Amino acid sequence: MSLAIETIDLVKTYKHRGGASNTVVDNLNLQVESGEIFGFLGPNGAGKTTTIKMLLGIIGQTSGVANVLGREAGDIEIHKRISYLPEKPYYYEYMSGLELVIFYASLFGIRDNDRCKELLRRVNLANDMNRPLSTYSKGMQQRVGLAQSLINNPELLFLDEPTGGLDPIAHIEIRDLILQFREEGKTVFISSHELSDVERICDRVAIINKGQLVAQGRLTDLLAGGRVEVTAEGVSDAVSDSLRHENRIVSFKDGRLILDAPDSDDLNGMIDALRNGGAQVVSVIPRRKRLEDLFIEAVAEDDTAKGRQRGRMTDGNSDGTKSAEVEEVKTGEGDPS
């Protein structure tokens, strides 16, 4: 396993006039493996963009380590192997899409207009590449941004809120392109506060809130613990009783049974029991934990933990809640499932 990105106790503190300071990224420890799509999630103002800027070396860290592709962040040699799509980007509007990509190519010393055109075709801008960018829709601007970010065939892409403010169709287009990047073995680091797309494309995620990591791990592990709902009709009292279990919620009336069980439960066994007892299985609905739930849980728990901390400043054990939580996530991460 090689790490594409690693941060160790990364901190960014902004000092304001008058001595006040604001810690925007707080002891952040991230590990992003090569070849994965990594979701970097958090509400607005959580410190996502700031972290990305530190990883690119555009701003310096206050303390801690930020390594990208095995070197210190900001190393100009690394910049040849990575690319970056900023959040809500703006490009020189007078240029056409093609001119823009040619411009960014020239920053690498690449003079290959055919390659630039090829990239624009790849993001479905074949027919619009000669129009000025001022006439592009948001989705088209984002796609030209992706074309631009592919010019150096990067090993690692940083995409800051790549689907922010896009309509659902543009969302899907961008998502499909990102999925292609993984096919090509690229590592993709996506920040987002919109969870629905990330949920479908990311291998692993980290959730930050107020600059602190609240969860990091494999999506399948973080989302484990969903439930499944089985509905059957013509169920006899005996069969219904046999299915009762402390982990299951059973509702039974007039032969109609609704069984709500953890998804780790023996689903086949339950269905066999129902069918052998002459019942008719009407539906089986998985109720997987959604990333939204996890996100809200993580952020809310973190906030209440902080609230408790503040309330218990004096009892000397204020950190307990939060570190236990991160620990839980970490153990989940190593678990193949």
Residues that bind another protein (CB under 8 A): 53, 56, 58-60, 76-77, 79-80, 82-92, 94-95, 103-104, 106-109, 148, 152, 158
Smallest distance, Å, CB 24 to Mg ion?
Answer: 11
Smallest distance, Å, CB 137 to another protein?
Answer: 18
Measure Cα distances from 162 to 24, 78, 260 in Å: 22, 22, 37
Smallest distance, Å, CB 69 to ligand ADP?
Answer: 22
Q: Which of 39, 47, 86, 139 binds ligand ADP (CB under 6 A)?
A: 47
Q: Which does 335 bind (CB under 5 to 8 A by kind): ligand ADP, another protein, Mg ion, none?
A: none
Smallest distance, Å, CB 48 to Mg ion?
Answer: 5
Q: 210, 318 in Cβ contact below 8 A?
A: no
Residue 49 binds Mg ion, judged by CB under 5 A:
yes
Residue 43 binds Mg ion, judged by CB under 5 A:
no
Count CB-CB contacts under 10 A for residue 60: 11
Q: Identify which of 111, 158, 166 has the alpha carbon closest to the alpha carbon of residue 142.
A: 166
Distance CA 298, CA 296 (A): 6
Q: Identify which of 295, 321, 326 has the alpha carbon closest to the alpha carbon of residue 310.
A: 321
Q: Which of 48, 171, 204, 218 binds ligand ADP (CB under 6 A)?
A: 48
Measure Cα distances from 97 to 88, 102, 129, 159 in Å: 16, 9, 5, 19
Residue 21 binds ligand ADP, judged by CB under 6 A:
no
Smallest distance, Å, CB 25 to Mg ion?
Answer: 12
Residues of this chain that interact with Mg ion (CB under 5 A) are 48-49, 87
